[in-house]
Chain A
Amino acid sequence: MQDVIFLWRASDRLTVSLLRMKNIRNFCIIAHIDHGKSTLADRLLQTTGTISDRDLQEQTLDDMDIERERGITIKSHAIQMPYKFEGEDYILNLIDTPGHVDFSYEVSRSIAACEGALLIVDATQGIEAQTISNLYLALEHDLEIIPVLNKMDLASADPEGVTDQIVDLIGGSPDDIIPASGKTGMGVEAILKAVIDRVPAPKGDPKAPLQAMIFDSVFNSFRGIIAYVRVLNGTINKRDIIQFVNTKADYIADEIGILGLEMQPKKQLSAGDVGYIISGIKIAKEVKVGDTVTLKDNPCEDVVQGFEDVKPMVFAGIYPVDTDEYEELRFSLEKLQLNDASLVYEPESSMALGFGFRCGFLGMLHMEIIQERLEREFNMTVITTVPNVSYKAYMKKGEMIELHNPSDMPDLSRIDYLEEPYISAQIITKSEYVGSIMSLAIEKRGEIKNQVYLTADRVELSFDMPLGEIVFDFYDKLKSVSRGYASFDYQRTGFRVSKLVKLDILLNGDPVDALSALIHSDNAHNLGKRICKKLKELIPRQQFMIALQAAIGAKIISRETISAVRKDVTAKCYGGDISRKRKLLEKQKKGKKRMRQVGNVEVPQAAFLAVLKLDN
């Protein structure tokens, strides 16, 4: 349909654009993990005929293997669905949003590209923390919210209770809430009708100077970076010279188009459209999510609000297990960065681990994803060191140093004071777990700010806490104290003065830099003890005794010893035993290859992350 407009006279074009705008709906989905976003999205694709039943690979929107396995959307995606409704042709652009707090900035940009949002709530579970914060984001952007009660096919669905929660949150009438099931297809037509009836058509002026917003980008090894954009005002034509306002770079729009199941090249995109731009960019960093795209010759006056240069929140060292693979690791990180601009890294070296990279991540999940992708896609075996957030050291001489690594910690005598980043966190849970979650929050230096009963047995807790605490086994603990019935979300709130110390771990008297951590001094003793205990479990016994110590400066605060192995199984070894035994010992050798020689001690990969897996 779009191609046809070029046969018309120029003066008609505008009318067509406006006409088309009237029939465009841009919307996203807000949902907690597992509430059925992907399943329902697939149903929309099917019902609109965007995808044939045969082609429907389960959960089409989740592209990456890791996304499918973990059932979460890491990157956002977009898809255009043509739909005929009451005799008119509509274009429905569904913009998928990432489902994890590590990627909340990307969520905000996807939301900014839409006029409406489906709020999908699992009718058997109710609203979760992540949903609420994304919902607030959507409300801030004036999005029309269409609440959907999903999984209504299940007997355990509690439509009344969950409806009350929704009405409490966003007001409106219970009748506006659509009962649905991604499984049976119930409610899908009603959802499409609501999108058309209730989500406003995009506003915008196709005649104005081009103003488009990048809400996502992907890397394609043949085409380079593909920027996903929402055109807010104006028009872009193929081969226009465009400018990215925040990066101040000019490119030629080699190809533009819309996002069907595959990319469909077009000659023009205009106000209201969601589509893509390819301009031969090879490096993801040049394409910043949230950046404004305009025309070089006729730039727009205003940039799209809300742009942020996302900064990594969590830092950790990544080292090859095999020191010979340093160059390969560099190459792999380069490749990864091509399609993940939020990954940053720079070379660093460690006494214990040799040469590697200090990497910055958006959060803990992002860190795990990068590590997993390195192992799966690049076949690297890596050691990741204890992650830390970035701290600020204010020096007596007046300057400020950002600390991304415990080894950056300057000599205490030169430091005036230290600051650590804080977050405002929300947890939604069942009332029976409130007590244990509060204890956890307090243990994690949190200050309870608020406690609200959403329903008789669902509570929202709000508190301030140091970001650094969530990198230390916070998620695992939250999960275990709440038996999985807690959802968590946070926003950064700034820095606060803090008493931080560097905790060192010594193996046979030598400090292992890769095991050091910056922590609050009140936690130091307890943590030191637990780290030593955990390392004792993780480091296999060797043919000599190993002394494990935790120290702050010169002061030893905890000590454990790993006794020597003085006997390994040495069973008999005759004709029939030889190959079996060889295979057994080969397996042991392989296991050891995943260990790192630190001094004369063999340390398994897992030990470098021991701090994260401390149990009580």
Chain B
Amino acid sequence: MAGIYVHIPFCRKACHYCDFHFSTSLKTKDNVLNGIQLEALQRKESLADQEIKTIYLGGGTPSLLKSNELKDILNAIYVHYSVSPKPEITLEANPEDITDAVVKNWIKLGINRLSIGVQSFNEDILSWMNRSHNSTQAALSVKIAQDAGISNISIDLIYGVPHRTHADWMNELKSAVDLNTPHISAYCLTIEPETVFGKKAVKGEVLASPNSASSVEFITLVDNLKDAGIHFYEVSNFSKFGFESRHNSNYWNRADYIGLGPGAHSFIDGTRSWNVSNNALYATGLKKGTLISQSETLSNIDNYNEYIMTNLRRREGINPKLITAHYGVTLSQSFKDILTRYEASKDLLIAENSIKLTQNGFLLADRIASDLFLTHD
């Protein structure tokens, strides 16, 4: 069981919060797309015996590619890898790209899941974030996609937006729930240094929302979605039962995946590698037959830390028995002390085979994971 991620590093304009790898210039587009196909060929051995069950076209903004461009990429994958008969194929799409005709073309290509970058239904917030779509497009695009025949849709929401009132957040949630998608991803706005917001933050022009406000939003989010039958299954992910993202779950299950395209990460056999985050370098490299990338092989401790970090964030939590079995790590007294401490503060629920965060504990997922980490020394 393995997955393939494809990174399409192009966007119409830069959203003010975004520090993904992308370019707003399309100059290198053809070369990069060629490169991706070459990379798919070059790396086919690395997943030779594995069935590809999920394909995820992410970015950037893959929905700005033409159907035939998407087709070429998917073809390359189908030709060089053994894709399972019923794969999950997700496309990240921005609302402004979605029309009935386009969605129908996507369906023809085999795309059966959309992750739509709604982010907000509020006009002011959308323009503050420098998104390319407006509030009408936000809701309408989802309906168009549904009417065109894709029901397996996830929408992205951003919480922790400074100065948003509680009432406004409730409205956002209502708009989201009303669209009746089986999956919602919700991210807390983080101010990253290399973004417009990051630069403004240094000058004091943008302030992150106070943690207290975003934690209230998070709790409202969890509760409201639950009422709508959309259940929390990972810190940033909510779905109706059976609609969890298979591709993303793969990451957390530490299954193998390759990432094609500039800046994409891969994880195969305990080795993680990442392609150069530069469109021109990536493309010219592959043209000459070299994939420019770096890699690291994870130690037991690294694996353990990643397991803790990704699985503490999930509904199922971590399984202490598995830790020893898989990573050869014996749980120390200090690990137990930390558990006891967070159990006492009602952030953790501890059972024999699982250690789970409580709803409040999810707000501290990073901190608790870090506390449970092991260090090399």
Residues of A within 8 A of B (CB): 543-544, 565-576, 578-579, 581-582, 585-586, 588-590, 592-593, 597, 600
A510 to B: closest C-beta gap in Å = 16
- In the complex, residue of chain A having the shortest beta-carbon distance to the beta carbon of B344: A600
A582 vs B310: C-alpha distance when bound (angstroms): 9
- In the complex, residue of chain B having the shortest beta-carbon distance to the beta carbon of A600: B341
Please give the number of chain B residues whose Cβ is less than 8 angstroms from any Cβ of chain A in the complex.
50
Check if B251 is an interface residue, CB within 8 A of chain A.
yes
Check if B197 is an interface residue, CB within 8 A of chain A.
no
Check if B218 is an interface residue, CB within 8 A of chain A.
yes
B294 to A: closest C-beta gap in Å = 11
Q: Judge whether B367 and A573 touch: CB under 8 Å.
A: no
A575 to B: closest C-beta gap in Å = 5
Q: Judge whether B370 and A589 touch: CB under 8 Å.
A: yes
Given A543-B345, A575-B259, A600-B341, does the pair A570, B362 have CB atoms closer than 8 Å? yes
A407 to B: closest C-beta gap in Å = 26
Q: Judge whether A573 and B211 touch: CB under 8 Å.
A: no
Given A578-B310, A589-B375, does the pair A568, B305 have CB atoms closer than 8 Å? no
Chain A residues in 8 Å Cβ range of B375? 586, 589-590, 593
B327 to A: closest C-beta gap in Å = 13
Chain A residues in 8 Å Cβ range of B345? 543-544
- In the complex, residue of chain B having the shortest beta-carbon distance to the beta carbon of A586: B373
**Could you say which of A568, A576, A579, A597 has the most chain B C-beta atoms within 10 Å of its C-beta?**
A576
18 further A-B pairs in the complex, CB-CB below 8 A; given A544-B345, A570-B362, A582-B306: A543-B364, A566-B215, A567-B363, A567-B364, A568-B367, A569-B188, A571-B187, A571-B236, A573-B235, A573-B309, A573-B313, A574-B248, A575-B264, A575-B267, A576-B7, A578-B251, A585-B370, A586-B370
B203 to A: closest C-beta gap in Å = 21
Chain A residues in 8 Å Cβ range of B365? 568, 570
Check if B257 is an interface residue, CB within 8 A of chain A.
yes
Q: Mark B159-200, 1 if CB is under 8 A from A, else 0.
A: 000000000000000000000000001011010000000000
Residue from the list B187, B215, B341, B371 in contact with A572, Cβ < 8 A: B187
Chain A residues in 8 Å Cβ range of B272? 578-579
In chain B between 339 and 359, which residues have their CB closer than 8 angstroms to a CB of chain A? 341-342, 344-345, 347
Chain B residues in 8 Å Cβ range of A568? 211, 363-367
Q: Could you jot down 22 A-B contacts, CB within 8 Å?
A: A543-B345, A543-B364, A565-B211, A566-B215, A567-B214, A568-B363, A568-B364, A569-B190, A572-B187, A573-B236, A573-B251, A573-B252, A573-B310, A576-B5, A579-B265, A579-B272, A579-B296, A579-B306, A586-B375, A588-B370, A589-B370, A600-B341
Q: Mark B276-301, 1 if CB is under 8 A from A, else 0.
A: 00000000000000000000100000
A576 vs B190: C-alpha distance when bound (angstroms): 17
Q: Judge whether A592 and B187 touch: CB under 8 Å.
A: no
A392 to B: closest C-beta gap in Å = 42
Q: Judge whether A586 and B367 touch: CB under 8 Å.
A: no
Chain B residues in 8 Å Cβ range of A570? 188, 235-236, 313, 362-366
- In the complex, residue of chain B having the shortest beta-carbon distance to the beta carbon of A564: B345
Residues of B within 8 A of A (CB): 5, 7, 185, 187-188, 190, 211-212, 214-215, 218, 235-236, 248, 251-252, 257, 259, 263-267, 272, 274, 296, 302, 305-306, 309-310, 313, 337, 341-342, 344-345, 347, 360, 362-367, 369-371, 373, 375
Chain A residues in 8 Å Cβ range of B235? 570, 573
Residue from the list B252, B263, B337, B342 in contact with A576, Cβ < 8 A: B263
Chain A residues in 8 Å Cβ range of B5? 575-576
A578 vs B369: C-alpha distance when bound (angstroms): 13
Chain B residues in 8 Å Cβ range of A571? 187-188, 190, 236
A307 vs B267: C-alpha distance when bound (angstroms): 70
Chain B residues in 8 Å Cβ range of A566? 211-212, 215, 360, 363-364
A312 vs B341: C-alpha distance when bound (angstroms): 41
Chain B residues in 8 Å Cβ range of A597? 337
A575 vs B267: C-alpha distance when bound (angstroms): 8
Q: Judge whether A576 and B264 touch: CB under 8 Å.
A: yes
B229 to A: closest C-beta gap in Å = 23
**Could you say which of B7, B310, B313, B367 has the most chain A C-beta atoms within 10 Å of its C-beta?**
B367
- In the complex, residue of chain B having the shortest beta-carbon distance to the beta carbon of A591: B370
Q: Judge whether B187 and A582 touch: CB under 8 Å.
A: no
A566 vs B347: C-alpha distance when bound (angstroms): 10
A247 vs B215: C-alpha distance when bound (angstroms): 69
Chain A residues in 8 Å Cβ range of B370? 585-586, 588-589, 592
Chain B residues in 8 Å Cβ range of A565? 211, 364, 367
A566 vs B212: C-alpha distance when bound (angstroms): 7
Q: Judge whether B188 and A578 touch: CB under 8 Å.
A: no
B2 to A: closest C-beta gap in Å = 12
Chain B residues in 8 Å Cβ range of A567? 211-212, 214-215, 218, 363-364
A586 vs B373: C-alpha distance when bound (angstroms): 7
Residue from the list A575, A581, A590, A600 in contact with B309, Cβ < 8 A: A581
A578 vs B267: C-alpha distance when bound (angstroms): 10
**Could you say which of A543, A575, A585, A590 has the most chain B C-beta atoms within 10 Å of its C-beta?**
A575
A596 to B: closest C-beta gap in Å = 13
**Could you say which of A543, A568, A570 has the most chain B C-beta atoms within 10 Å of its C-beta?**
A570
Chain B residues in 8 Å Cβ range of A572? 185, 187, 236
Q: Judge whether A582 and B267 touch: CB under 8 Å.
A: no
A599 to B: closest C-beta gap in Å = 10
Chain A residues in 8 Å Cβ range of B263? 576
Chain B residues in 8 Å Cβ range of A573? 235-236, 251-252, 309-310, 313
A479 vs B272: C-alpha distance when bound (angstroms): 51
- In the complex, residue of chain A having the shortest beta-carbon distance to the beta carbon of B274: A576
A544 vs B346: C-alpha distance when bound (angstroms): 10
Q: Judge whether B342 and A543 touch: CB under 8 Å.
A: yes
- In the complex, residue of chain B having the shortest beta-carbon distance to the beta carbon of A590: B375
Chain B residues in 8 Å Cβ range of A544? 345
A44 vs B211: C-alpha distance when bound (angstroms): 64
- In the complex, residue of chain A having the shortest beta-carbon distance to the beta carbon of B366: A568
Chain A residues in 8 Å Cβ range of B211? 565-568
A566 vs B7: C-alpha distance when bound (angstroms): 35
B316 to A: closest C-beta gap in Å = 15
A585 vs B372: C-alpha distance when bound (angstroms): 10
Given A589-B371, A589-B373, A593-B375, does the pair A543, B309 have CB atoms closer than 8 Å? no
- Nearest first, the 10 A-B pairs at minimum CB distance are A567-B215, A567-B211, A585-B370, A576-B265, A589-B373, A567-B363, A568-B367, A588-B370, A572-B236, A570-B365
Chain A residues in 8 Å Cβ range of B264? 575-576
Chain A residues in 8 Å Cβ range of B341? 600
- In the complex, residue of chain A having the shortest beta-carbon distance to the beta carbon of B20: A576
- In the complex, residue of chain B having the shortest beta-carbon distance to the beta carbon of A587: B370
A589 to B: closest C-beta gap in Å = 4
A576 vs B369: C-alpha distance when bound (angstroms): 18
B240 to A: closest C-beta gap in Å = 20
Chain B residues in 8 Å Cβ range of A593? 375
Given A543-B347, A573-B309, does the pair A585, B342 have CB atoms closer than 8 Å? no
Q: Judge whether B373 and A585 touch: CB under 8 Å.
A: yes
Chain A residues in 8 Å Cβ range of B267? 575, 578
- In the complex, residue of chain A having the shortest beta-carbon distance to the beta carbon of B369: A585
A426 to B: closest C-beta gap in Å = 46
- In the complex, residue of chain A having the shortest beta-carbon distance to the beta carbon of B259: A575
A600 vs B267: C-alpha distance when bound (angstroms): 38
Chain A residues in 8 Å Cβ range of B257? 575
A148 vs B368: C-alpha distance when bound (angstroms): 63
A147 to B: closest C-beta gap in Å = 53
Q: Judge whether B305 and A582 touch: CB under 8 Å.
A: yes
A353 vs B263: C-alpha distance when bound (angstroms): 46
A582 vs B372: C-alpha distance when bound (angstroms): 12
Q: Judge whether B259 and A569 touch: CB under 8 Å.
A: no
- In the complex, residue of chain B having the shortest beta-carbon distance to the beta carbon of A566: B215
Q: Judge whether A576 and B371 touch: CB under 8 Å.
A: no
**Could you say which of B267, B337, B365, B369 has the most chain A C-beta atoms within 10 Å of its C-beta?**
B369
A597 vs B333: C-alpha distance when bound (angstroms): 14
**Could you say which of A568, A574, A589, A593 has the most chain B C-beta atoms within 10 Å of its C-beta?**
A574
